[in-house]
């Protein structure tokens, strides 16, 4: 029997040549997407408990469901937070309750099921954090080798999750775009399964199940608020609501509120200027790494979803995200990351402006846990001050170890490190290390030689002690 769905290009509608090595449309570069036969949708019945796999009939078929217990997340009426904000019917969909504490477990579960069913033994993905953390966990369960490309600035907790599940993590550039391009090449060259959210259309099929769950848990709210990075999440939610309407399961759809960070708002800015394409940025400035996307691949799709839903797009400041992260935890006991808190932080302003009414039903999607992020931990004024810890530290540690074995100079170090960074970056690291008193330098002839100080030795010993505990 033919499956009730086809995979094709979202822009030129050219049918995709085959499944498995997911990428972009070969003709126009648009993203690939599954579409379901509306007649089929009308006959669909969901059976079994409220979990992610309850919605298997509206996802592309997989031979075996790989599961860590994803989906079926709680839906709460936020009584105390609602009262605090002056919004009687505020609800939270708590996606932090997924296995690795983010909504990306839905996509990782579906992709891993697809990969294993098709016989792949390795996967690759580019990620801003949550998706990689999730994919690493599902790969571990299936004994699949997992390669993850990340931008330089990554939340420490997400990196820890990847490393704990034995994924191979590589730094690729400053933004997610470079990492995505690299992941595309790696899948082509090595035959690894492409598990990048922006390239694999199963991500949309998985994330749309949040809408299916919401409707079963609550019916159709007036508003659904979600943070936007690449735009794929809001597009997927809208796809879910649209299918539900086509299937005759709902009579109306909610209005969407797409929230972005003030310092990185290519979609919100375009929406509010009535432009159909996102306004790409050279750099993004926000603590919310999960939504720091300067050239959103699904920006146009997100704009369409906002438009079709008669929705809104707003921006919030980093300090508002951090403050509302605290308010959500303080009033509802849910610890959200800044990007997730953004889906609540905009409420006072829209209430004040009369755009939303105090009696409207608003559902905010809390996509991921605050336990993973550097920023919230820092904002709680703990005495720990470790912003750049992680990958950057790993480079400095490698340089220190080199210098510990012998006195050396910048150019030689650069070669020994495999020229993996610019020569300028090596000099910068050396200068940082010297200003902290960890290395000392002296001129000999034309060269400046660096050697380890007593303090540098102690730091290396301490790092070894720590690593022996891991």
> Which residues would be at the binding site for Zn ion (CB under 5 A)?
9, 11-12, 14, 25, 27-28, 30
| C-alpha span between 65 and 44 (Å, rounded) | 19
CB of 28 to Zn ion, least distance (A): 3
Handedness of CA 27, 30, 34, 36 (dihedral sign): negative
Cα 107 from chain centroid? 11
Among residues 298 and 324, whose Cβ is nearest to Zn ion?
A: 298
Among residues 28 and 423, whose Cβ is nearest to Zn ion?
A: 28
CB of 41 to Zn ion, least distance (A): 24
332, β-bridge pairs: none
Residue 230, number of CB atoms within 10 A of its CB: 26
CB of 30 to Zn ion, least distance (A): 4
Among residues 24 and 378, whose Cβ is nearest to Zn ion?
A: 24
CB of 235 to Zn ion, least distance (A): 16
CB of 29 to Zn ion, least distance (A): 7
CB of 204 to Zn ion, least distance (A): 16
CB of 13 to Zn ion, least distance (A): 7
Strands 193-194 and 361-366, bridge-based pairing: unpaired
CA 57 vs CA 4, 16, 68, 120: distances in Å: 10, 21, 19, 23
Among residues 8 and 325, whose Cβ is nearest to Zn ion?
A: 8
Among residues 25 and 149, whose Cβ is nearest to Zn ion?
A: 25
> What is the full DSSP assignment across 17-80?
S-SSS--B-TTT-PBEEEEE-HHHHHH----SSSSGGGGGGGS---SS---SS-----EEE-HH
Helix H, strand E, coil C: the string for 151-202 is CCCCCHHHHHHHHHCCCEEEECCCCHHHHHHHHHHHHHHHCCEECCCCCCCH
Among residues 28 and 164, whose Cβ is nearest to Zn ion?
A: 28
Among residues 25 and 365, whose Cβ is nearest to Zn ion?
A: 25
| C-alpha span between 187 and 109 (Å, rounded) | 19
């Amino acid at each position: 029997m033919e499956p009730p769905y086809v995979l094709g290009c979202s822009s030129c509608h050219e049918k995709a040549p085959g499944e498995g090595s997911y990428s972009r449309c070969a003709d126009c570069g648009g993203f690939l997407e599954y579409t379901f036969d509306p007649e089929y949708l009308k006959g669909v019945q969901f059976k079994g408990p409220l979990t992610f796999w309850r919605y298997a009939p509206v996802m592309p078929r997989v031979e075996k469901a790989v599961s860590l217990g994803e989906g079926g997340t709680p839906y709460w009426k936020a009584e105390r937070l609602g009262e605090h904000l002056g919004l009687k019917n505020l609800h939270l969909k708590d996606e932090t309750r997924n296995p690795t504490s983010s909504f990306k477990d839905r996509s990782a579960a579906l992709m891993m099921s697809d990969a294993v069913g098709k016989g792949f033994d390795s996967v690759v993905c580019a990620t801003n954090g949550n998706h990689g953390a999730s994919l690493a966990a599902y790969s571990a369960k299936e004994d699949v080798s997992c390669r993850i490309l990340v931008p330089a600035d990554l939340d420490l907790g997400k990196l820890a999750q990847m490393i704990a599940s034995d994924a191979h993590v590589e730094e690729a550039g400053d933004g997610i775009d470079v990492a995505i391009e690299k992941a595309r090449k790696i899948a082509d060259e090595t035959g690894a399964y492409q598990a990048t959210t922006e390239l694999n259309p199963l991500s949309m099929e998985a994330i749309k199940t949040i809408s299916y769950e919401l409707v079963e848990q609550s019916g159709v709210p007036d508003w659904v608020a979600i943070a936007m990075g690449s735009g794929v999440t809001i597009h997927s939610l809208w796809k879910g609501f649209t299918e539900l309407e086509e299937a005759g399961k709902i009579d109306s759809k909610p209005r969407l509120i797409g929230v972005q960070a003030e310092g990185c708002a290519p979609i919100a800015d375009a929406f509010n200027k009535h432009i159909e394409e996102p306004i790409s940025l050279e750099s993004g400035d926000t603590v919310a790494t999960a939504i720091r996307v300067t050239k959103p691949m699904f920006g146009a799709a997100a704009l369409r979803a906002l438009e079709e839903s008669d929705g809104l797009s707003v921006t919030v400041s980093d300090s508002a995200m951090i403050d509302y992260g605290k308010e959500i935890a303080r009033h509802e006991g849910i610890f959200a990351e800044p990007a997730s808190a953004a889906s609540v932080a905009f409420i006072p302003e829209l209430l004040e402006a009369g755009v939303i009414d105090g009696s409207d039903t608003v559902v905010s999607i809390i996509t991921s846990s605050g336990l993973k992020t550097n920023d919230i931990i820092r904002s709680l004024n703990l005495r720990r001050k470790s912003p750049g810890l992680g990958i950057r530290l790993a480079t400095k540690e490698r340089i220190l170890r080199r210098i510990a074995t012998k006195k050396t100079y910048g150019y030689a170090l650069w070669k020994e490190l495999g020229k993996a960074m610019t020569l300028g970056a090596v000099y910068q690291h050396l200068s940082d290390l010297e200003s902290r008193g960890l290395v000392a330098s002296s001129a000999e002839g034309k060269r400046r030689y660096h050697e380890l100080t007593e303090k540098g030795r102690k730091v290396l010993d301490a790092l070894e002690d720590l690593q022996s505990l891991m």
